[in-house]
Chains A and B, each alone.
Chain A
């Protein structure tokens, strides 16, 4: 800039009156720069409830992974029926703490081994469903929020339609039409019903973020819509998405159990917690073989509780001041 036309430079106290102080020199590197991820992780680590639930989740994962080990130790295969030792003389299933650590079921199968194998289905469905749900929801929400106009209207109508279909009715109908029973189908059905709420959350965030100056800066640099959506906006909503995903896992596990309980989820003889609870209730079997109802229910309860508490912790870690996502 030329300073040729500054006749009255003296009145520019702004420039001439102050010595050109350099901005405060960097303090000695005692304060280590930490990114938001690192900070969130450290907050999570300080939260005792989160740590305990994380340990529980880890144990469940180990149990699921080590399911064949349970089978080997007990000598009971997952679908093996033990007519002789699995049933008492009166025809009722054998109780726990004997040859069967958690008792046997009505078919003479080992409840413990089936629980371990059932954990695989539950975890798989929980994690895959929530990942899929969140992926669809995030992309839809980003597009609706950033591209706006027609895209927003179309996605908005799709969400309306999705929300207007009764979930259980649709799931039962679809499962029976397709023959039902596959884990894949359960995952797809759950994801198709779940993504709309993720999309709404993301869309709302995007609407406020896209008005920020740094988005304008990206546009003035020549960034295209996709780059802005995924490189500039997405990192700002990913925390919310992860929080939602972590709370979605227990929801999906319960939903899968619900579908299996109703007989339209995972089909027998595959070991599944929901199906086990359902079988225990049939014919009032639980009145004589309480273990058959209690242990699968307990497994479901502990798993969902652990994931829920962990999800809460994740949310608090990412934004300690945020309002609660679910009341």
Chain B
């Protein structure tokens, strides 16, 4: 905590730095995954012959997280906030620009493809698109058999037996072993993807929006399947979604991302009942409530403008051009992700002026001095 935090009026006496998080969420276990200051920039190259780098998309810009064995960490945020990029950095589908990823006690962030292979057994992904994530020209048995073939675990009849076992596990008919993906419905295809991911009994499963492409009724089935399997196989999930109610249902802890950074992280209750970050509040106020009267009474926080371009993210707090509570400090200083307003160590928010319980920020207006505002003019709609 720097001196400038102490100077801000809203800031309480600085809470002691968390030391070895003892107040862990619902299930406590060892840290399975530790992500430290992960940065992923995608260079934007000019189209000329020599393809100079002319800029970079700051997809993930300094994210630190811990995931404990057996828990589910929900990852929410708008499209383009870096959720999926972070997932692909963790599974090393992308190389990191900087930062480290520790999995099961080993630093995997700089391993070569072949050194990474043994870790992939324990770290699997379930993809968003049940149509795009299965090879249309290969039979289901061969798709689910891939992990056994790649890691040279089982062959021939043994492989077939284990594939059919995996199909049964996710509620597919093992007799459909020889069918093509096109012969299945969306929900069944997602089950195929789950069977493939769980075939080797991994420790960590990253679910990248596993239900957002499915019908609502099928969503419930797939989510229930995932939670049953978690209990049965003692899995750890990172569950990426933009549907807040789905995330709340499945997650022990939730991290909210905005423009490549974590805005707020905490238990489900922390995030959904006492959100500190104005962005989290705005997101929550957009969740529909299945009761028209309640819906009418609720005040919605409408954010001004669009998400700024990740090519050139705003200075200071990335949310300040759209934040109703923005002050000068927000333009100049990037807030740290620490517990605010006397919260427990598990609940941190990256905000200089966190939201108090009961505060209605839809009534606030940003107060940025003329000198600072010049930079951001046009973005502040409700000034």
Contacts and interface: CB of A to CB of B under 8 A. Distances in A.
B290 A236 contact: no
Interface stretch (A169-177, A218-226, A293-301): A218-226
A220 B72 contact: no
A24 to B, nearest CB: 7
A217 interface: yes
Of the candidates A20, A22, A216, A224, the one having the most CB atoms from chain B within 10 angstroms of its own CB is A216
Contacts of A217: 125, 127, 133-134, 193, 196
Nearest to A10: B290
B10 interface: no
B52 interface: no
Interface string A30-48: 0001011000000000000
Contacts of B273: 7
Given A1-B230, A14-B246, A227-B150, 13 more contacts: A1-B231, A3-B249, A4-B26, A5-B252, A6-B249, A7-B269, A15-B220, A15-B223, A24-B185, A213-B128, A220-B120, A221-B196, A222-B151
A37 to B, nearest CB: 9
Interface string A191-227: 0000000000000000000001110111111111001
A20 B146 contact: no
Contacts of B176: 26
What is the size category of the interface that chain A forms with chain B? Answer: 35 or more
A213 B245 contact: no
A152 interface: no
A235 B250 CA distance: 38
A28 interface: no
Interface of B: 26-27, 72, 88, 91, 93, 113-114, 116-117, 120-121, 124-125, 127-129, 132-139, 146-147, 150-151, 171, 173, 176, 178-180, 183, 185, 187-188, 193, 196, 216-221, 223-224, 226-227, 230-231, 237, 245-246, 248-252, 267-269, 272-273, 289-290
Contact of A23 (B128, B138, B147, B221): B221
Contacts of B185: 23-24
A24 B184 CA distance: 11
A288 to B, nearest CB: 58
Nearest to B224: A20
Contact of A220 (B124, B129, B151, B180): B124
Q: Is the interface of B mostly helix, strand, loop or mixed?
A: helix
A14 B246 CA distance: 8
A185 to B, nearest CB: 37
Nearest to B268: A5
Contacts of B180: 33, 35-36
A2 B178 CA distance: 35
Contacts of B136: 36, 236
Nearest to A236: B137
A11 interface: yes
Given A7-B269, A220-B91, A236-B135, A1 B193 contact: no
Nearest to A19: B217
Contacts, number: 132
A31 to B, nearest CB: 9
A214 B135 contact: yes
B43 to A, nearest CB: 14
Given A1-B230, A23-B187, A216-B127, A235 B135 contact: yes
A200 B138 CA distance: 24
A232 interface: yes
Interface in A160-192: none
Listed residue (B132, B135, B231) with the most chain A CB atoms within 10 angstroms of its CB: B135
Nearest to B118: A222
B120 A222 contact: yes
A232 B146 CA distance: 10
A1 B226 contact: yes
A18 interface: yes
Contact of B138 (A5, A12, A235): A235
